[in-house]
A and B are shown apart, each in its own frame.
Chain A
Amino acid sequence: QQQVKQSPQSLIVQKGGISIINCAYENTAFDYFPWYQQFPGKGPALLIAIRPDVSEKKEGRFTISFNKSAKQFSLHIMDSQPGDSATYFCAARGGTGGFKTIFGAGTRLFVKA
């Protein structure tokens, strides 16, 4: 019940296209859902986050869509660029896990020029 399931495992998108990464969770006590971006050899960086009281949050080309009833959330990268090529992790926090962040397995995104 503490898991966060992420898909797809890898994704290839043409430059200018939309990249979509999906995550699902079971624990309804989770109350904070961040996305992290990781470039090779670097630590993950917080990209954008959402709380379950809103259905969408947008920051520049990055948008989180949140469906509380379905217990799913997704990251949309509009106008994908080669510089967006990285590994993306969804995560969830709160509930009985307390201060632990539960991470998805990650999605390797490659944006073709």
Chain B
Amino acid sequence: SQTIHQWPATLVQPVGSPLSLECTVEGTSNPNLYWYRQAAGRGLQLLFYSVGIGQISSEVPQNLSASRPQDRQFILSSKKLLLSDSGFYLCAWSAIDEQFFGPGTRLTVL
């Protein structure tokens, strides 16, 4: 069966520090991968999606970037965090239609 992992589960970072969040998927090949951000009590904002290794599409211009170095690995990064980057970051994968989410990373920027 397929499993999606995200780490870390929680993260507290100072403004201006770098960020690296990692997501890995098990049990499937060549998945579509997604990064979402969810502000407290709000909906899901699609940040990036990828249909293959090295193929990244950005939905929202910001100081975040994404990379897909391996088929089932998706990384969200930032060189300098802003206060507004705080939120709940969710990785997801899909094969055909169904989309499955990871457990999320709670990021607090102070």
Contact = CB atoms under 8 A, between A and B. Distances in A.
A44 B101 contact: yes
Specify the main secondary structure of chain A where it touches its partner: strand
Contacts of A42: 103-104
Given A34-B99, A46-B100, A101 B43 contact: no
Interface stretch (A53-61, A65-73, A102-110): A102-110
Given A43-B103, A43-B104, A105-B43, A99 B98 contact: no
Interface string B84-103: 00001010101001111111
> How many residues of B sit at the interface, in one of the four size bands?
20 to 34
9 contacts: A43-B90, A43-B92, A46-B99, A46-B100, A89-B44, A99-B32, A99-B94, A101-B94, A108-B41
Interface of B: 32, 41-44, 46, 49, 51, 88, 90, 92, 94, 97-104, 106
Given A45-B101, A49-B98, 10 more contacts: A34-B97, A34-B98, A41-B106, A43-B103, A49-B97, A89-B43, A99-B51, A100-B49, A101-B94, A104-B43
